[in-house]
A and B are shown apart, each in its own frame.
Chain A
Amino acid sequence: SQQGEEDPQALSIQEGENATMNCSYKTSINNLQWYRQNSGRGLVHLILIRSNEREKHSGRLRVTLDTSKKSSSLLITASRAADTASYFCATASGYSTLTFGKGTMLLVSP
């Protein structure tokens, strides 16, 4: 069963706007990761945030983690058409596997 649930399921914005997607999970975690998937291709790791971290940045990406609410958000600033993709959160619990959410489809229009 999915641990993470992304919200919204789909998001459509214009180039230059910011895109925010959220992830909620159910059990305690060691870390939470975000991945991007371009249509029909393999997932690419974007960023990892540990359970003792609250915010992390990587280029135009900003991730926050609120362990009390069991939620995370991914912010993409100044979006570009090339950011069009599906974005998945994945949670790591223990020392074994990742559990992926169902993803948010982001469409960035020129």
Chain B
Amino acid sequence: DADVTQTPRNRITKTGKRIMLECSQTKGHDRMYWYRQDPGLGLRLIYYSFDVKDINKGEISDGYSVSRQAQAKFSLSLESAIPNQTALYFCATSDPLRGEQETQYFGPGTRLLVL
């Protein structure tokens, strides 16, 4: 969905490096999410934010941090990357207050490889 963009699309980094993944959206949604996807494990929620001043941990937040710089921007950081953080990362948005229930709109993903 072009309304939700992620940068970079692919990234290779080394163990111990700090890395930031960025998400931007033009949908005007208040809610934003970060997920990681591993083969055979589906999507797992890392962090989510219901508005600029609200940040919540998800199922697997250890080793990650986030920043909600504006309604449209939500960044995910790996402070010290480790190999088991190699995964496909997705950003998503939603806005239940617009009557769309909890339908989520996903970005194209960032493929991260930690060596």
Contacts and interface: CB of A to CB of B under 8 A. Distances in A.
B101 A92 contact: yes
B104 A88 contact: no
B103 A88 contact: no
B41 A102 contact: yes
A1 interface: yes
Interface residues of A, number: 25
Contacts of B107: 42
A43 B108 CA distance: 8
Contacts of B102: 30-31, 33, 92, 95-98
B97 to A, nearest CB: 10
A44 B96 contact: no
Given A40-B88, A97-B33, A45 B96 contact: no
B62 interface: no
5 contacts: A30-B102, A44-B1, A44-B106, A97-B102, A100-B43
A61 interface: no
A11 interface: no
B29 interface: no
B101 A102 contact: no
Contact of B106 (A31, A42, A48, A99): A42
A70 to B, nearest CB: 18
A33 B106 CA distance: 14
B74 interface: no
B81 to A, nearest CB: 21
